[in-house]
């Protein structure tokens, strides 16, 4: 990859918890992105620390946003919640011909990103949402199962993510997702359900003794788009008691969490030590079956969730700059079923 492509992109939200990890990974791999965001003071400090160009850039200043994006080949959006940031950034990218990537896991905005396919193809750009940990890694694992069982009629994902800290943007995104209620893919379409409408245990004798409950994750849309499997559910660790509570009070809890997260500081959260991060492992289990009762299962394992997301996001950006894709694509559609394995320390085990 040339020096030009390594500097010809923008990282928006570089001073947030996730954005800073992406920046660290990008610098380690020789990139020199333009750093942008709303907070001029935090950008200035980050620019002084890294020697990179900075650009205070509120998303509601459409003219300035389009002028800035017209000077780069791509933008990686690391500022959430994406229900607020995704649409204005994508609209500007479509107007000026700048490819768009994000680490979004919000099902509503992820759906909106996928709906931009015709516009993206007309503009000659890529819209690739979810290139971070959750969507990209779970979708890759599901795609591997689909290759083993091409006639699968159902698939279930179980995500157990270990993180060293939790960013304000992630808290806002989670709260908004909970408030919107549950989802599943049923007969090829996204269907609204109660939160935690189903619970289960992960497959495989080595799986931890934990219960999972259905959650409205963007992984549902990504997997359905890339595999065509008609019935899909995805879940996170929840006890039976907590799942029962979520079925009753989930939307109210989401609203309370939204208010709580909105009052939290927007500064980057102090990261645990490297030694503490190194021992954290995130895992995704997937199982699928067909109409005759045949089943397949596998587990993906990687490191701490935010660091894995940062590594995946930078590699996705590199692949897009090296060989531009066009259209609104899922990570697997853009980069293939083995994309997650590009992240060091990531492996897939058949069960």
**From the CB of residue 291, how many other CB atoms can be counted at a distance below 10 Å?**
9
Cα within 13 Å of Cα(245), Cβ side? 7
Flag whether pLDDT at 88 surpasses 70. yes
Distance CA 147, CA 155 (A): 13
Domain range annotation of the chain: 3-132+307-345, 138-303
CATH code: domain 3-132+307-345 is: 3.40.50.720
Question: Which two three-digit tokens encode residue 244?
Answer: 């029962």
**From the CB of residue 164, how many other CB atoms can be counted at a distance below 10 Å?**
19
Q: Between 128 and 250, where is the model more confident?
A: 128
In the chain, helix, strand, coil percent, each to 5?
A: 45, 20, 30
Distance CA 36, CA 34 (A): 6
Mapping DSSP to helix (H, G, I), strand (E, B) and coil, where does residue 328 land? strand
pLDDT at 337: 97
Do 230 and 153 contact (CB within 8 A), yes or no? yes
DSSP letter, residue 309? H
Residue 130 Cα to chain centre, angstroms: 3
Cα–Cα nearest to 11, from 26, 160, 325: 26
Cα–Cα nearest to 235, from 191, 276, 286: 286
pLDDT at 268: 47
Q: What is the pTM of this model?
A: 0.90
Mean of per-residue pLDDT scores for the chain: 89
Among the ranges given (173-182, 270-279, 340-349), the one the predictor scored with the smallest mean pLDDT = 173-182
pLDDT tens for 266-317 read 544 556 788 888 889 999 999 999 999 999 999 999 999 999 999 999 999 9
Bridge partners of 111?
A: none
**From the CB of residue 104, how many other CB atoms can be counted at a distance below 10 Å?**
28
Question: Which two three-digit tokens encode residue 237?
Answer: 């660790």
CATH code: domain 138-303 is: 3.30.360
Distance CA 332, CA 55 (A): 32
Mean pLDDT, rounded, for 201-219: 82
Do 220 and 313 contact (CB within 8 A), yes or no? no
pLDDT at 257: 61
**From the CB of residue 347, how many other CB atoms can be counted at a distance below 10 Å?**
10
Question: Which two three-digit tokens encode residue 186?
Answer: 């049923």
Q: Give just the sign of the alpha carbon dihedral 144, 131, 108, 138.
A: positive
Q: What percent of the chain has pLDDT over 90?
A: 73
Mean pLDDT, rounded, for 172-180: 64
């Amino acid at each position: 990859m040339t020096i030009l492509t390594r500097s010809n992109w923008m990282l928006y939200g570089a001073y947030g918890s996730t954005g800073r990890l992406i920046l660290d990974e990008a610098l380690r791999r020789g990139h020199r992105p333009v750093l942008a965001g709303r907070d001029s003071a935090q950008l200035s400090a980050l620019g002084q620390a890294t020697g990179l160009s900075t650009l205070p850039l509120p998303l509601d200043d459409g003219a300035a946003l389009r002028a800035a994006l017209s000077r780069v080949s791509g933008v990686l959006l690391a500022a959430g919640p994406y229900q607020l940031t995704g649409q204005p950034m994508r609209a500007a990218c479509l107007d000026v011909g700048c490819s768009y990537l994000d680490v979004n896991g919000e099902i509503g905005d992820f759906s909106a990103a996928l709906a931009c396919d015709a516009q993206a193809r007309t503009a000659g750009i890529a819209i690739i949402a979810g290139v971070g940990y959750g969507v990209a890694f779970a979708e890759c694992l599901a795609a591997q199962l689909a290759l083993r069982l091409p006639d699968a009629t159902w698939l279930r994902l179980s995500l157990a993510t270990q993180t060293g800290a939790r960013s304000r943007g992630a808290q806002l995104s989670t709260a908004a997702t909970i408030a919107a209620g549950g989802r599943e893919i049923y007969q090829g379409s996204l269907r609204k359900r109660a939160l935690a409408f189903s619970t289960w245990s992960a497959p495989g004798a080595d799986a931890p003794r934990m219960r999972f409950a259905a959650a409205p994750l963007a992984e549902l849309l990504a997997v359905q788009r890339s595999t065509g499997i008609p019935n899909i559910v995805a879940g996170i660790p929840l006890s039976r008691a907590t799942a029962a509570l979520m079925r009753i009070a989930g939307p109210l809890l989401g609203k309370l969490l939204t208010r709580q997260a909105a009052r939290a500081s927007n500064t980057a959260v102090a990261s645990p030590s490297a030694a503490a991060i190194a021992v954290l492992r995130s895992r995704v289990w997937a199982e699928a079956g067909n109409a005759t009762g045949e089943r397949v299962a596998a587990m993906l394992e990687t490191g701490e969730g935010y660091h894995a997301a940062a590594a995946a996001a930078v590699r996705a950006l590199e692949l897009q700059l090296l060989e531009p894709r066009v259209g609104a694509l899922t990570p697997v559609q853009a980069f293939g079923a083995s994309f997650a394995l590009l992240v060091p320390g990531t492996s897939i085990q058949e069960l």
